[in-house]
A = this chain, B = another copy of it.
């Protein structure tokens, strides 16, 4: 362990101290509360996931509990917890309590809690950490417990999960009477840090660090646990190819990777572990500068749901699992808190407005597991999945959105995201209410009122998004021509008397993005971005085969808010060209004539695609 540099710089203002009251997120959070949480509960009931905690399954019965069912229920409890914190709902609260009663009733005397390994393969507890999601399920239930406790103050699940954590801590460790091991699907590492934060129990933090340090050993702990089975650490599917502090490239299953890196960032901050922070920075750079879609999606291939190689970002066959983009948000927010650097918040914002929420339909009841950037028309949201990680994951993200907006430091308040609403936070020993008025992400202006309980001096730090080249600031109507910007944040250091209003204007040009030349899939194409929103073409708006649409370099693109469309979105329109098919009768190849005819291009936000009639979709548009 190295010097003390990577102490946690910022503390997030938690979701339960933030009100979201805008036109973009608030309706999504309402749909999440009113529809998604309910249908997910119904799905989990119908598929037996909840009743499985009754432990009354016997061999031969169908359905047989699956090794990751516990985690689906856990993420639902977590999502419901976040929702209850901001929107009390006695019916939902009672439903959650009933589920928690069931969950806790399944806990064994020694603290162990896992349906599959209690009723299906009880003799195999802890024998296949690599594949069987045992510690993964434990981690999700710990996150659920922390969320529910924070939301409601109720300790039942939290106490149960502390008992479980204590038991796990008695099994795994470096000590002689404990065994090696680490999860094949990371998750418990970051959950233990949350449990540490809420309980102050340092053993949980050390156990998290232990699990991190178990990766990349020679021989691998996964080889040790089943010496007779072949195991190849090298492809990195389980991020076991190198010790975590030596990893340099984002490898393997992308959700696993993000959960690991998030935990690494947590532990780096809590234990001031510089080597671990350096590894996080390297893995961040590799992920976001070489292996990330322009939507914030990650994971280029269905095979192994994984990262492939630098700049390999195929659009139609992209995997870009909803859970992976959510994991990137988790990693990003931790890096923001650790460093105060806005570059992390840029990616967090990108993923939040694009590649995560594409995972759920506007009506809250359809889900993408896979989020391609191009579709021939056959990719659609589903009601549910056999492996149902994504639906409750997007539910917990949306329910906790408030927690990503603000942070505080000793003498500073940070605004990472522009979302109408307010937060109450303690800065410099005083309560300060920050209130945002904005139509972001559709409009470019944010009015922020700062209301401390009495006059107090602190630094207000407003993120200037990476997509914004010149932000205009005024304080109380007086322009601040050259505001002080550091690491992507405007610093406004002054005494705040309780009267001040800050206005930030981030002009939203429509931007044509190009990808690094090494990205073959995007060669000759542009993606359209306005503010934090990435756009796409849908066939319903454009008629023609989307690969035929060509956007001339000098095309004017205009943005218009369409209240009637897709829940109210900005759309982009512009003059484009499409191939003239009229003279192609009986010809497959011919000397280039490139006869084109004018057409109007209409683009909609990527996050709302596939909410109308089925058809082609395309993010990267051919450009000339």
Residues of A in contact with B (beta carbons under 8 Å apart): 285, 288-290, 292, 294, 511-520, 523-524, 526-527, 545, 547-548, 550, 553, 578-581, 584, 586-594, 622-624
Known contacts A294-B589, A518-B581; can you find 4 more A-B pairs with CB under 8 A? A289-B586, A513-B592, A516-B588, A517-B545
Q: Which residue of B lies closest to A350 (CB)?
A: B589
Are A511 and B547 in contact (CB-based, < 8 A)? no
Complex CA–CA separation, A515 to B587 (angstroms)? 9
Give chain B residues whose Cβ lies under 8 Å from the Cβ of A289. Answer: 586-588
Assuming the A-B contacts A516-B584, A579-B517, A591-B512, are A550 and B524 also in contact, with contact meaning beta carbons closer than 8 angstroms in the complex?
yes
Are A592 and B526 in contact (CB-based, < 8 A)? yes
Of B294, B514, B592, the residue contacting A512 (CB under 8 A) is: B592
* 29 sample A-B contacts, Cβ–Cβ < 8 Å, listed by A number: A285-B586, A289-B586, A289-B587, A289-B588, A290-B588, A292-B588, A511-B591, A512-B591, A512-B592, A513-B589, A513-B591, A513-B592, A515-B588, A515-B589, A516-B584, A516-B587, A517-B548, A517-B578, A517-B579, A518-B545, A518-B548, A520-B545, A520-B547, A523-B548, A524-B524, A524-B550, A524-B622, A553-B594, A624-B624
Name the distance in Å between A548's Cβ and chain B's nearest Cβ: 5
Name the distance in Å between A76's Cβ and chain B's nearest Cβ: 34
Name the distance in Å between A134's Cβ and chain B's nearest Cβ: 36
Oligomeric state, in copies: 2
Give chain B residues whose Cβ lies under 8 Å from the Cβ of A591. Answer: 511-514
Assuming the A-B contacts A289-B587, A589-B294, are A514 and B594 also in contact, with contact meaning beta carbons closer than 8 angstroms in the complex?
yes
Give chain B residues whose Cβ lies under 8 Å from the Cβ of A624. Answer: 624
Q: Which residue of B lies closest to A578 (CB)?
A: B517
Q: Which residue of B lies closest to A593 (CB)?
A: B514
Name the distance in Å between A312's Cβ and chain B's nearest Cβ: 9
Of B513, B517, B584, B586, the residue contacting A581 (CB under 8 A) is: B517
Name the distance in Å between A432's Cβ and chain B's nearest Cβ: 35
Complex CA–CA separation, A623 to B591 (angstroms)? 13
Give chain B residues whose Cβ lies under 8 Å from the Cβ of A545. Answer: 517-518, 520
Complex CA–CA separation, A511 to B593 (angstroms)? 11
Q: Which residue of B lies closest to A289 (CB)?
A: B588
Complex CA–CA separation, A526 to B524 (angstroms)? 13
Q: Which residue of B lies closest to A624 (CB)?
A: B624
Complex CA–CA separation, A558 to B185 (angstroms)? 57
Give chain B residues whose Cβ lies under 8 Å from the Cβ of A524. Answer: 524, 550, 622
Complex CA–CA separation, A593 to B294 (angstroms)? 17
Name the distance in Å between A298's Cβ and chain B's nearest Cβ: 12
